[in-house]
């Protein structure tokens, strides 16, 4: 597809005349604005701003502004344009389970979609956003500034079971797929040297209580939970984790090890279905859900009474 600049160049070089230039600019380029104006009402994107050097999308429900990165077609606002919303089932359930005043840990914060949404809906909540990739962390900070957030604390390091400096891999079209393993197996992935710590060390150093964990680290979830085992056992936070068989296999473990770890700490696993928490047993090759909530049987008994499907 020819770009706006290419069309202009053709005109300036005399390859097309003025009437053709005007018609081509509208039909090939400018008309898309009206196309999106008709399409947006179907989605949770209310507004798209095109300004010098960047594109900013604003969500319909909360007015969250996110600067999009050229070439990254898996970023949350782009997914919202494609599928009308972004992980709405899990997001709605998370809203029910996060109490105002909680300490919310966004592990694998990426550009800040979840962090900013929680910070906007729970003004008394403090969000701790962990993002190890330097370039992605810069975009996270850009989005924090766009939304004038004051209750988010960003950290440019990841969490795992061992501290250190590690190479992370991520494709240009999907910064959210960053991982300490080259998940795609492709030779054209980008790399970055990133700092990693443990949740237990961070909690001990800061003295912060952990109330809710959202963990999406592309297969390294078990490592995060092992590195935060003492903190999870002490604070008993609600946990939302993305767990995929194909990603955990890249790290050499079965996803059921995560479920075993939490059940040993007094938790049960759930998926969100129709606005209710559905009890979940064991993952196998037929498992379709990829996002799982873990709630402690005793500490979260009232929440389970309100939101879980009762046997």
Domains for the chain: give ranges and CATH numbers.
Answer: 4-82 (no CATH), 88-307 (3.40.50.150)
- Is 173's pLDDT higher than 70? no
Interval 177-229: pLDDT, tens: 666 665 566 666 788 889 999 999 999 999 999 999 999 998 899 999 999 99
Residue 216: the pLDDT is: 94
The pLDDT of residue 182 is 57
> What distance in Å separates the CA atoms of residue 131 and residue 106, rounded to the nearest whole number?
9
Q: What's the CA gap between 160 and 178, in Å, rounded? A: 14
> What's residue 112's pLDDT?
96
Closest by CA position to 214, among listed 233, 237, 180, 245: 237
pLDDT for 181:
66
User: What's the pLDDT tens digit per position in 228-268?
Assistant: 999 999 999 999 999 999 889 988 999 999 999 999 999 99
pLDDT given for residue 176 in this prediction:
56
Say what the pLDDT of residue 179 is: 63
The predicted-structure confidence for 22-48, as pLDDT tens digits, reads as follows 999 999 999 999 999 999 999 999 999
Region label for 63, one of left (φ > 0), alpha (ψ between -120 and 50) or beta (otherwise): left
The predicted model gives 9-19 an average pLDDT of: 97
This prediction has a pTM of 0.91
Who contacts 123 (Cβ-Cβ below 8 Å, separation ≥6)?
A: 100, 151
Please report the pLDDT score of residue 170 as a whole number.
73
């Amino acid at each position: 597809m020819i770009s706006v600049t290419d069309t202009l160049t053709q005109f300036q070089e005399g390859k097309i005349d003025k009437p053709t230039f005007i018609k081509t600019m509208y039909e090939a380029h400018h008309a898309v604005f009206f196309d999106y104006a008709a399409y947006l009402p179907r989605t949770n994107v209310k507004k798209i701003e095109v300004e010098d050097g960047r594109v900013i999308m604003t969500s319909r429900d909360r007015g969250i502004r996110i600067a999009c990165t050229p070439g990254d077609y898996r970023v949350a606002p782009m997914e919202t344009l494609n599928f009308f919303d972004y992980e709405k089932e899990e997001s709605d359930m998370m809203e029910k389970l996060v109490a105002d005043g909680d300490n919310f840990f966004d592990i694998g914060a990426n550009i800040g979609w979840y962090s900013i949404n929680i910070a906007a809906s729970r003004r008394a909540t403090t969000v701790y956003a962990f993002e190890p990739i330097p370039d992605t962390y810069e975009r996270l900070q850009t989005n924090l500034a766009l939304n004038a957030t004051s209750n988010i604390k960003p950290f440019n390091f990841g969490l795992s079971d061992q501290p250190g400096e590690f190479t992370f891999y991520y494709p240009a079209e999907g910064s959210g797929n960053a991982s300490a393993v080259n998940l795609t197996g492709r030779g054209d992935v980008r790399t970055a040297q990133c700092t990693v710590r443990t949740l237990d060390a961070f909690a001990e150093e800061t003295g912060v209580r952990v109330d809710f964990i959202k963990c999406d680290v592309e297969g390294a979830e078990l490592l995060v939970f092992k590195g935060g085992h003492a903190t999870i056992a002490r604070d008993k936070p609600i946990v939302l984790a993305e767990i995929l068989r194909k990603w955990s296999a890249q790290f050499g473990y079965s996803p059921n090890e995560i479920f075993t770890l939490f059940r040993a700490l007094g938790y049960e696993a759930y998926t969100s279905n129709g606005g209710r928490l559905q009890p979940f047993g064991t993952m196998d090759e037929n498992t379709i859900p990829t996002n799982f909530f873990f709630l402690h049987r005793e500490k979260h008994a009232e929440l389970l009474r309100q939101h879980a499907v009762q046997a």
